[in-house]
A and B are shown apart, each in its own frame.
Chain A
Amino acid sequence: MTVTGDPAIVLLIWVLLAPLLALGAGVVRPRWAARGGVVGAAVAFLLAIRTVGGPASEIRLPWAPSWGIEATLRFDGLASLYALLATGIGLAVLIYASAYMPIHLHHEHKPERDGVRFWVLMTSFMAAMVWLAAAQDLLVLFVAWDVTAVASYFLIGFDSEKPAARRAALMALFVTGVSAIGILIGAVMLRTIYGSLEIGVLAERVQPSAWTTVALALIAIGALAKSAQVPFHFWLPRAMAAPTPVSSYLHSAAMVAAGVYLLARVYPLLAAAPDVREALVVIGFLSMMVGGLLALGADEFKRLLAYSTIAQYGYVVVMLGLGGKYGIAGSALYVLAHALGKCGLFLTAGAATEATGEKALSKVGGLGASQPVLAVASGLCAATLAAFPLTIGFFKDEVFFEAAHHQGRLVTALAVLAAASTFGYIARFWTGIFLGAPKQGAHALPRRLVLPILALGAIAVVGGVKVGPFAAIASAAGQASSPGLKPLTLAYHLEASPANLMAVAAWGLGIAVFLAARHGRAALDAFAALGKRFGPEHGYIRVLGGANRLSDVIHDFEVHDLRSRMAALLLPAGVLVALAVLATPNENAWSVGVMSMADLPLVLAMIAAAIVGLAATIPRDHLLIGLLLSGVGYSLTIVYALTGAPDVALVAVLVETLFSLLFIGMLAAMPPRLLDRAAGAVSTDIRRRRDVGIGVISGILGFVVCWGALSRPAAVESAAEEQIAMVKAAHAKDVVTAILADFRGLDTMGEITVIGIALIGLLALLRRRPAR
């Protein structure tokens, strides 16, 4: 293991310890889990800050050396950015949650100790994100990716007694988990073609080709599904069934951000697949439009924000598709600014619901009068999303416009339209909650539900006034995606540059959109209904429903009795084996082998075994079957003895004797009438013929496989030679003994464990039966 650079490795280890810290604290006292989680996140955040701008320290862990796979982790600019988000936003969310979760648990009538799970899962989620951010090879990346999916599954389904939460969790897991398999396939394809899983190495080797495009498209699809882009967007609004802190984290810094992170991480490879990049632009714009329209029509706070997230990550996807300085580094800045604003607004949604007990825009209003601090804090976050000057959000749109306006009129117009709709729905959200006449009473909020929002808003304003450090972080992230990229230099320019004109147009149009959305609810609702009726979610439900029915049919067949269960195992196994045999090239592969007179005893012993084995299928009497089974065993013992395996023969004699005694003893323990009834249970003729057919087909298949395998002793040199040579060094006389007790001692230990478990099971089964 080579390690260079301190804060990075300390961070990587610390985030793994944080869940344990939360768990440990929670075990001592449930209330302390929150403290453990907050401390874990705070320390992680400090460590993440220290990685910024440092040397890109690298950690290599040998993983599967025989396959040339090393786990490579490096804190470059991109890793630092996402680690900062995961830990920093995580800290804000966890501080908020330390006040929110007790109230939430109280509302749901759950004991305090249920909350411990939340803290452990959230810190695990954070750990997965940090590892994901630092991953430099596709395998580590895939593992961390799946850990985020699992963590989010449990977090979205936190209120597991609610069907909606369970459904949402399952949907998120399905959509992001199934698409993640595409990432794995893509990674394996790249490794097969270019011989490495490390992104840096791959970047030097990739060449444009159809297979490269397919592999990268699979990876991009996984990323887009995670980032809830059209047509995979439907899982994200459902995921709001999670407690608010979870939604907030999911949308701003974790799960959904992971998708665009992956695109940025594999960006060097995308150069070899221009088609994929073009597709990104199209999908990004589609997501902006769909998300924007749905957000303009949504009524629930969290639903509105969920749709807005779809649209906002659409921006990022478009920017990555467009590329260039403003596209790549700009997308990093966009993610940063969006995380600050969106996290704050989600926390606002939770706080507003907490204060009023309502969840929808149509039920609230005028909260600004009773909650002025919340209104201001949330206003700052909203302002940054709506790209007001003096917030960092202004620059996120600025870079977007810079990236877009070189790409022709259509892209320019779409960019302005998208920014205008963002302005529109963010304005709807904020004015809907805080302005107008109060429609409900509101009670005071704990400070910890407001302060994190204020902090996020304040950072957004600091970024708007002094954008340098933020631009530097974004530039470093951009350089990780595309080495040699010029750094972003951002400042306010009061001039009629294209980007400025686009920004002004977006505000003007945004006000128009905001006003139009108020009066055009019917059209927006119709759009949402259309999506529900024909959209991808409908397809998802149909597919899952079909799969479920198919599974029911197979299940009903399978569980009928033991025979059908066994058939359900044997049949597919047989089909698979047959397919494998067919797929294996078989020309000149069959060897009859030589047989000499010296083999005669062996041949006779084998024939005896076969005849006795066949005979065992015939008799009615159980005792006879038992004896014939022993006959097979003893015949094989002779075979072992004749093939130079005295150890095996000795053990086989012992085991066969024991087995015969056991079988006969078991027969003696059961009443003869019962045994006779079982023996006389005659199957129907059809059944009987089918059983014979199954036996014959199995035999033929077994024969083909066995002959095929024995015909080609593939290994040129066997491991046996090596082990024979080592016997003296092992101070043994018998090679087989040395193998069992020494060279493969671990296997033998496993074997002893199996026998031990069988013994325990046996004792449990043979104890006197309980009263029925």
Chain B
Amino acid sequence: MTLFTSLIVAVLFGAGCFLLMKRDLLRVVAGTILVSNALNLFIISAGLSRGAVPILPFPDGELADPLVQAMVLTAIVITFGVAALLLSLVYRVYTSHLSLDLEDLAAAEEREAEDDDRPDPQADEDELWTTGEDER
């Protein structure tokens, strides 16, 4: 069972990571959800005991480890919060850029940086490392 569970976790995790690398933002979100699912499965499998439902009255024999269940419960809810936030971010990207393609977004970012006529912050940083004798 250990080996088998690990394989399932690995498949879900790998599929998630593959989606994370996509150009399409929605697929990236799907990737994070798959990765989270893989981790939830991992946590629940990490329980030290398997057995009956840990609800009173306890039956004879071993109980399922309640600690990992509490953790997975928390993780699922947080995953949902993150997923909802990510989806609304995607929506927001659509409203402001009319595209969900990361290449488009990177290009838009570069354009914005060029339009920005503020002085290059790099210049200020570079000067930090000179000795500065001249301006005493």
Residues in A lying within 8 Å of B, measured CB to CB: 163-164, 166-167, 170, 300, 532, 537, 541, 544-545, 548, 552, 560-563, 566-567, 570, 590-595, 599, 603, 606-607, 609-610, 613-614, 616-617, 622, 625-626, 629, 632-633, 636, 639-640, 643-648, 651-652, 655, 658-659, 662-663, 666-667, 669-670, 674-675, 677-679, 681, 683, 690-692, 694-696, 698-700, 702-703, 706-707, 709-711, 713, 715, 718-720, 723-724, 727-728, 732-736, 739-740, 744, 747-748, 751, 754-755, 758-759, 761-762, 765-766, 769, 772
Contacts and interface: CB of A to CB of B under 8 A. Distances in A.
A692 B20 CA distance: 11
A713 B81 CA distance: 30
Contacts of A765: 85, 88-89, 91-92
Task: With a 10 A CB-CB cut-off, give which of A610, A675, A723 has the most chain B CB atoms.
Answer: A610
A567 B14 CA distance: 14
B102 A561 contact: yes
29 contacts: A163-B128, A548-B129, A561-B103, A570-B20, A590-B3, A592-B2, A607-B8, A609-B8, A609-B12, A609-B41, A614-B11, A639-B44, A643-B50, A659-B83, A666-B88, A670-B100, A677-B100, A690-B21, A691-B21, A695-B17, A703-B6, A710-B45, A720-B63, A733-B55, A735-B55, A740-B74, A754-B81, A766-B88, A769-B95
A593 B13 contact: no
B85 A761 contact: yes
B12 to A, nearest CB: 5
B70 A707 contact: no
A643 B44 contact: yes
B30 A670 contact: no
Contacts of A613: 11-12, 15-16, 34, 37-38
Nearest to B127: A163
B22 to A, nearest CB: 7
Interface string B116-129: 00000010011111
Contacts of A699: 10-11, 13-15, 17
A562 B80 contact: no
Contacts of A548: 125-126, 128-129
Given A563-B102, A606-B4, A710-B45, A751 B76 contact: no
Interface of B is mostly: helix
Contacts of B96: 769, 772
A728 B55 CA distance: 11
Contacts of B40: 636
Interface of A is mostly: helix
A646 B5 CA distance: 19
B121 to A, nearest CB: 12
Task: With a 10 A CB-CB cut-off, give which of B21, B40, B49 has the most chain A CB atoms.
Answer: B21
B132 to A, nearest CB: 5
A166 B130 CA distance: 12
Contacts of B101: 677-678, 681
Interface string B91-116: 11011101111110110010000000
Contacts of B66: 720, 723-724, 735-736, 739
B74 A747 contact: yes
Given A610-B11, A698-B17, A740-B74, A666 B95 contact: no
B135 interface: yes
A720 B15 CA distance: 33
Contacts of B131: 532, 537, 541
B110 to A, nearest CB: 9
A633 B37 CA distance: 7
A655 B72 CA distance: 13
A688 to B, nearest CB: 9
A243 to B, nearest CB: 16
Nearest to A744: B70
A711 B5 CA distance: 11
Nearest to B14: A699
- Give the top 7 A-B pairs by smallest Cβ distance, nearest first: A699-B14, A695-B18, A644-B64, A593-B2, A703-B10, A698-B17, A678-B100
B24 A678 contact: yes
Nearest to B125: A548
Given A561-B103, A562-B102, A566-B21, A541 B82 contact: no
Contact of A645 (B16, B69, B79, B92): B69
B88 A710 contact: no
A164 B127 CA distance: 10
A679 B24 contact: yes
Contacts of A754: 78, 81
Nearest to B57: A733
Contact of B69 (A544, A639, A647, A728): A647
Contacts of A748: 74
A666 B100 CA distance: 13
Contact of A758 (B19, B69, B84, B126): B84
A689 to B, nearest CB: 11
A570 B80 contact: no
Nearest to A168: B132
Contact of A647 (B49, B73, B83, B106): B73
A759 B133 CA distance: 52
Contacts of A636: 37, 40-41
Contacts of B65: 718, 720
Contacts of A732: 56
A675 B96 CA distance: 15
Contacts of B69: 645, 647-648, 736
Contacts of B70: 736, 739-740, 744
Given A609-B8, A703-B7, A765-B88, A562 B24 contact: no
Contacts of B9: 702-703, 706
A234 to B, nearest CB: 10
Contacts of B2: 591-593, 707, 710-711
Nearest to A655: B80
Contacts of B87: 662-663, 666
B26 A698 contact: no
Contacts of A666: 87-88, 90-91
A532 B13 CA distance: 55
A674 B78 contact: no
Nearest to B25: A678
A651 B21 contact: no
